[in-house]
Amino acid sequence: MAYKTKYDYLENPQELNNEIINHKSNGSISEEMKVEIPLMRLNFRRAENELKNAEMIFKVSVNEIFKKELDLLKEDTFYSSVISHAYYAIFFATKALLLKEKVRTKSPNIHKATLDAFVYYLISSGKLDVKLLNIYKSAIVKADSLLGLFVSEKDKRGTFTYQELSDANKEPAEESINNANKFLTYVIRLMQ
């Protein structure tokens, strides 16, 4: 018997549909009557701000001059914060994209609801691939790559936020910033 991962349900239409029904019944997902442009813009600005925070904290972690100005020790690093802020950049960008599709996610279970809604309303429905195809006429960008970035950063945030980090975690933090940059770049184009 194969081990079932915590995200296998995303690939099973019936299981994903059941999750969406549960989210709707507990209020974590609602389908709106119209696009809430101010809220959509607010979420995307939050995404951009989270990415800037991740980049800024990374720079502080690697730059001795910044550390000196801030009275930090040479060995002080903040990579767990970088990873967390990069994840939140992806999270808020996804919320903005969902709002464009008239889908709102909220507590309880807002993070799971946002991931599930992203897959259900955008990837499984085929909307995301079609939009990406229109943007990249010469090269098809798979929606799976965006889902992979979201899932990867969601897991990484959980892992690295609650562990003591050393300088060895510079690479995962740098990767998180790159992933968030890619994700926001795609979302910007999809929202135009």
Question: Could you report the per-residue pLDDT of 2-44, keeping only the tens digit for each?
Answer: 555 777 888 899 999 999 999 999 999 999 999 999 999 999 9
In a domain, 125, yes or no: yes
Token pair of 64, please?
A: 């001795």
- Residue 153 resides in a domain: yes
Dist CA 48 CA 95 (whole Å): 13
**What percentage of the chain carries pLDDT values higher than 70?**
80
Query: How many folded domains does the chain comprise?
Result: 1
Determine the 3-state secondary structure of 142 from DSSP.
coil
What are the tens digits of pLDDT across the range 106-139?
998 898 999 899 989 988 888 876 454 444 322 3
- What is residue 104's three-state secondary structure? strand
H-helix segments, 101-166: 110-117, 127-135, 143-161
Burial of 158: CB neighbours in 10 Å, binned 0-12, 13-18, 19+: middle
Which of the pair, 153 or 13, is modelled with greater confidence? 13
pTM of the model: 0.82
pLDDT grade for 104, boundaries at 50, 70 and 90: very high
- What is the torsional sign of CA 108, 150, 163, 49? negative
Question: In 3-state terms, what secondary structure has residue 31?
Answer: strand
User: Mean pLDDT in the chain?
Assistant: 83
Tens digits of residue pLDDT in 165-191 = 556 588 888 988 988 898 899 888 888
Determine, yes or no, domain membership for 131. yes
Phi, psi for 4 (deg, rounded to 5) = -95, 125
What's the DSSP call for residue 33?
A: S
Q: Please check whether residue 1 lies inside any domain of the structure.
A: no
Within-domain flag for 4: no
Range of the domain at 149: 9-191
156 φ, ψ (degrees, to nearest 5): -65, -40
Asked if the structure places residue 3 within a domain, the reply is no
Residue 2 lies inside a defined structural domain of this protein: no
Residue 179 covered by a domain: yes
CATH number of the structural domain spanning residue 15: 1.20.120.330
